[in-house]
Chains A and B, each alone.
Chain A
Amino acid sequence: MAQQQKALLIDISLCVGCNACQDGCKVANKLPAGEEKRLSPTAFTALEEHNGKWARRLCQHCEEPTCVSVCPVGAFKKTAAGPVLYDAEKCIGCRYCMQACPFRVPRYEWQSTRPRVQKCIFCAERLAQGLQTACAEACPTGATKFGDREELLLEAAKRIKDGGGKYVTKIFGQEDVGGTSVFYLSPVPFDQMGFDNRLGNTPMPVLTMTAMSKIPNVVTVGGVMLGGVWWITNRRDEVAKHESGKPASTSKHEDHK
């Protein structure tokens, strides 16, 4: 791929909970100002406090996004630069993306009669201009760092190695659900920071595809089988009919003699 994939590295140990990332995000995305403690249609990112530490929530921009795979009309798209984008013009509002997202990220404009799904768009427009995301730019402590995906992974590994036990030895997002574009380093086990430890490394769409890939077989084998059963039972009916009619035909035959 010619274009380097961009990513974010979020270091939980560096976050002081100042909420500058959310403020920056709201300005960049023209969302109503005001601090929000949870993700919402008007907060694409939010700081969740867990025992004096903050886990920043936002769309993880998965490598193999579940939302992209489940949307019946293809309203979600994974772009080459990394961002997962949403098209409200296509969306029918089935909310399968919200139901399926392994990180429970998409939010819905429930109060609207023409609701849209809302989530972080990785500042796709800023990226196209060569800028970094608004949250990374706003972060005063370096807890959120923007960069190329591969370089950030190397840096994260280096921080764990040099930290001397400061971090748990896991880069969240490196392989989880097949890899994401937002990486986390944490000084405490991830489940204590509200991360779901049941996700595994298999991309969720793969689970669906193993079943979906059987459809062509079901159709062809099933079609042939049903046709065959019809033919056999139909033939049996015909034979039965013919046999019960035999006396008639033989007697006719004898008549002709």
Chain B
Amino acid sequence: MSSFTFPRITVWRTIATTLIVAGVIAAVLRFTLGLGATTNLTDEFPWGLWIGFDFLGIGLAAAGFTIVAAVHLFHAHDYEPIVRPALLTAFIGYSLVVLVLVIDLGRPDHFWHPLVMWNPHSVMFEITWCVILYTTVLSIEFAPIVLEKFNMHKPIKWIHTFSLPFMIVGVLLSTLHQSSFGSLYLCVPNRLHPLWYTPMLPILFFISCIASGISMVILETIILSRNGRTLLPPALRANLAKITAVALAVYLVVRFQDMLGRGAWHEMTRLTYHSTAFYFEIVVGFVVPLFLLMFKRVRNSRRALFTACVMVLAGFAANRMNTAITGMESWPTRTYFPSLIEILIMLGIAAVGFSAFSLIAGYLPIFEEEPEAPQITDEPWIHTMSPEEGARIIEAAE
């Protein structure tokens, strides 16, 4: 650190900085003027864009628990290189969602109340606790990366010895709150449009977060594999795409079977405000990408896979926004469109997320291999075997 070098100015950095500055100004206005003056939220429409954004952030961060489960619990070690990017995504995602929630609260100064004032009957209470605990688990899972940077290997070993229960708890907590975001709407059968309201909401939310979480990881591996570096071999990337396809297929089966069972498919046969939103969500985000991902050529093509995954994320975003906003509107009498300040705060926070990812990924060992030292000691024969012995084995084999 001999001299300070001014960061290079790029288009993306300019955009991100502008968005973050605008977001901060918008947030200052929101806190000084209150929700009424700065948002389009009303008594008729008390939850808006920010809640939808929370759903989105948590869903995209689902990569964290799926990949950890695959690699560390199911021992799919080939996917080891994406564990850290997935953990980083999850960690940033959750931190930002907590930030948005605090901005959204009418009394941000009371944000700590759920820690001491309990109502176990409340889905919101359960989500709050799951998010707090899971963010803690994520920090424990993420800590070795930071410690590694500072060459503190003793605490890493220490964390590794008790990491298994934490990983299991992390997967369970994720399962619970990913589905609970759907459970939030179980008590509003009279308010949420039948195209989205179903007792199956928690299950559908869970299945779709797996598709979106893995799509997010695929996109990351594609984007971050540029400049001659390959984060994940294309064959493994294609396997991830297969899992996404399975999740999409299961989702569609469960959703349509449920709609048939409840008679909600009647709503599909009419062209309305709601059915238009529904068709966009289902066709663009679920049916078309599922169709695309069924082809090996698509799964193996960088560009086609990229397109399919972007569609999955778009469909996922549409699904969450439709549940949070469109489905709660009754066109044309009760509608909602976010205010400029709501949008600016959301964009600012998204920009913080992307900037944080690229900053942290540049600073911490996110894309490097984990030191293999502790694992090698598990296989003592490799070390105890002398070259002569090795030669003898080869001879014997021949």
Contacts and interface: CB of A to CB of B under 8 A. Distances in A.
B34 interface: yes
A222 B379 contact: no
Nearest to A203: B187
Contact of B187 (A100, A107, A110, A245): A100
A233 B117 CA distance: 41
A160 interface: no
A10 to B, nearest CB: 21
Residue with the greatest number of chain A CB neighbours at <10 A, chosen from B119, B179, B191? B119
A153 interface: no
Contact of B35 (A71, A91, A115, A234): A115
A92 B110 contact: yes
A31 to B, nearest CB: 16
Nearest to A74: B119
Given A73-B114, A208-B187, A248-B385, A94 B123 contact: no
A199 interface: yes
Interface stretch (A19-27, A48-56, A164-172, A224-232): A224-232
Give the interface size class of chain B.
Answer: 35 or more
3 nearest A-B pairs in the assembled complex, by CB-CB distance: A93-B106, A110-B36, A233-B75
Given A90-B117, A92-B113, A98-B46, A207 B124 contact: no
Nearest to B117: A73
Interface string A210-235: 11100100110011001101100110
27 contacts: A40-B43, A66-B187, A69-B119, A70-B122, A72-B119, A73-B110, A73-B117, A91-B107, A92-B107, A93-B110, A95-B46, A96-B184, A106-B43, A108-B106, A113-B31, A208-B121, A210-B199, A211-B183, A212-B123, A222-B175, A226-B73, A226-B168, A227-B168, A230-B168, A234-B75, A247-B396, A251-B396
A198 B172 contact: no
Nearest to A198: B190
Contacts of B187: 66, 69-70, 100, 204-205, 207-208
A107 B41 CA distance: 12
B137 to A, nearest CB: 13
Contact of B202 (A68, A211, A236): A211
A94 B189 CA distance: 20
Interface of A: 39-40, 66, 68-75, 90-96, 98-100, 102, 104, 106-115, 196, 198-200, 204-205, 207-212, 215, 218-219, 222-223, 226-227, 229-230, 233-234, 236-237, 241, 245, 247-249, 251-252
A234 B164 CA distance: 12
Interface string B211-236: 00000000000000000000000000
B189 A95 contact: no
A209 B121 contact: yes
Interface string B32-44: 1111110001111
Given A92-B113, A104-B44, A107-B43, A223 B186 contact: no
Contact of B107 (A40, A115, A209, A237): A115
B50 to A, nearest CB: 11
B113 A69 contact: no
A207 to B, nearest CB: 5
Contacts of A112: 34, 36
